[in-house]
Amino acid sequence: MFDLDTDFIPGGGSSSSSSEPEVTSSSAYSSFVNNTPKVSSKPVSVSDIPSLESYLASVSAIICLSHLRWDFVYQRPQHLLSRFAKHTPIFFFEEPYFYENAQPRLEMKERENGRLTIVIAHLPTGLTPEESDAKQIELLNEFMADRDLDNTVFWYYTPMALEISRQFNPALTVFDVMDELSAFKFAPPRLLELEAELIAKADILFTGGQSLYEAKKDRHKEVYAFPSSIDKTHFAQARQPQTDPEDQAKIPHPRMGFFGVVDERFDIELLREVANARPEWQFVIIGPVVKIDPAVLPNSSNIHYLGGKSYQELPSYLAGWDVAMLLFAHNDSTKYISPTKTPEYLAAGKPVVSTSIRDVVRPYGDLNLVQIADGAKDFEAAIERALTQKDDKAWMRKTDDYLAGISWDKTWQNMVRLMQCVSDEKKKNASAAK
């Protein structure tokens, strides 16, 4: 059974920047795409639960097509799809592996206690993009041949996957717009064209933040903002004494920490300047370095690159930090981001300093939950303030009051409800057309 919070109120506003997007019945869909949140007067009741369970039981499988690898960094796709996996089989298609003399095939690896299957195409090097797509189409067609397409959901994280999957017409097509991929380094030239095609094909769009919602809301009638959420219990472990991990234990205090992918979004120069200005402060950077040359990263003695860590390890590292940082540069790749680490840092009880990323300023900066600063001098001053904030009980109460309204469970439940409504509407329209 679903564990719905008794104070969870669905409503009709998809663009609200409150803790959770709100949901209503399909009869009110036309009101969802404006910027005025609406609140239903009817809270979720126990009677709503069977209809959601019956909908999930009717979904024979979810086929997810992703540009991210499941085992890379635990983030939005893993949080959402692991919850779906408790109710229906998930097949998570990653981008292919290419190597010499590979025989075209699909490799399958189980995760989530066998409820989720990673699917990876193995292809030989030297193929043209067209030949690669043709081989993947052949493999995917073969994979889907015995599947119940009429009750299957296709869930896209990348429009590029349309090149191998546009031939299918599943029961429901979901486009979860996690990032503005066209703004990322090495984005394929055809991405924008394929995104337009996917938006036209999709039955429903979810966006990973408010800024992305505002960018997409006029391009589809069913667009809903689902900003970054949290697993509060997991990150709240950092509020309790933890054994300092071996590679962090000898680093002096005060410690300023960051975890996440270190790529073109990371403000290298900001880190360099603040670290140089305050040699007595220690900067702990956790996460893989991708798409940039590690040699360009600052290497002063008070900066400590500890590499990637598992999701399960993060609370033990966070527990040993004095301040958590969001070191994002201002460029095309950060214009629409909604960092999941913002509420995760706060759930760990850590004061947070961030550059003025729009979806951090709204709502966290506006609510004075996070210190916002740009430029080395202001960022340094914000860290100074944050170092005293950890003992501010009023700030902590206000932070916890805000975090009480968000969770990945609520986000997922809202998504399921919307998928059910859109699916029901699609079936009605199909019946009426006969």
What domains appear along the chain, each with residue ranges and CATH number?
Answer: 26-229+407-433 (3.40.50.2000), 232-403 (3.40.50.2000)
What does 387-432 look like in DSSP terms, one character per residue?
HHHTT-HHHHHHHHHHHTT--HHHHHHHHHHHHHHHHHHHHHHHHH
Coil, strand or helix: which one is 121? strand
Q: Mind listing the pLDDT tens digit for each residue in 259-314?
A: 999 999 999 999 999 999 999 999 999 999 998 999 999 999 999 999 999 999 99
Coil, strand or helix: which one is 257? strand
Please give the pLDDT value at position 115: 95
Minimal CA–CA distance to 93: which of 42, 139, 52, 125?
139
**How many other β-carbons are positioned within 10 Å of the β-carbon of residue 388?**
9
Please give the pLDDT value at position 47: 54
Q: Positive or negative, the Cα torsion across 39, 40, 45, 51?
A: negative
Who wins on pLDDT, 25 or 48? 48
Q: H or E element: which one contains 119?
A: strand 116-124
User: What distance in Å separates the CA atoms of residue 93 and residue 66, rounded to the nearest whole number?
Assistant: 6
> Checking phi first, is residue 170 left (phi over 0); if not, alpha (psi -120 to 50) or beta?
beta
- The answer to whether the bond into 254 is cis (omega within 30° of 0) is yes
> Per-residue pLDDT averaged across 349-372, rounded?
96
Task: Name the DSSP letter for residue 219.
Answer: S
Tokens 């994280």 belong to which residue?
157
Coil, strand or helix: which one is 112? coil
* Structure tokens belonging to residue 354: 């961030």
> Per-residue pLDDT averaged across 334-363, rounded?
94
Percent pLDDT > 90 in the chain is: 75
6 pLDDT above the threshold of 90: no
Please give the pLDDT value at position 190: 82
Q: Read off the pLDDT band of 185 (50, 70, 90).
A: low
Q: Positive or negative, the Cα torsion across 400, 402, 408, 412?
A: positive
**How many other β-carbons are positioned within 10 Å of the β-carbon of residue 413?**
24
Residue 345 sits at φ, ψ, to 5 deg, of: -60, -45
Q: Read off the pLDDT band of 192 (50, 70, 90).
A: confident
Residue-averaged pLDDT of the chain: 87
Are 153 and 134 within 8 A, CB to CB?
no
130 pLDDT above the threshold of 80: yes
Minimal CA–CA distance to 412: which of 106, 174, 196, 118?
174
Please give the pLDDT value at position 109: 97
Q: Where are the alpha helices (DSSP H) in 304-375?
A: 314-318, 341-347, 358-360
- Say if pTM beats, i.e. exceeds, 0.85: no
Q: Mind listing the pLDDT tens digit for each residue in 297-307?
A: 999 999 999 99
Q: Mind listing the pLDDT tens digit for each residue in 52-102?
A: 889 999 999 999 999 889 998 889 999 999 999 999 999 999 999 999 999
CA distances 70 to 79, 94, 104, 275, 392, Å, are 11, 8, 21, 33, 38
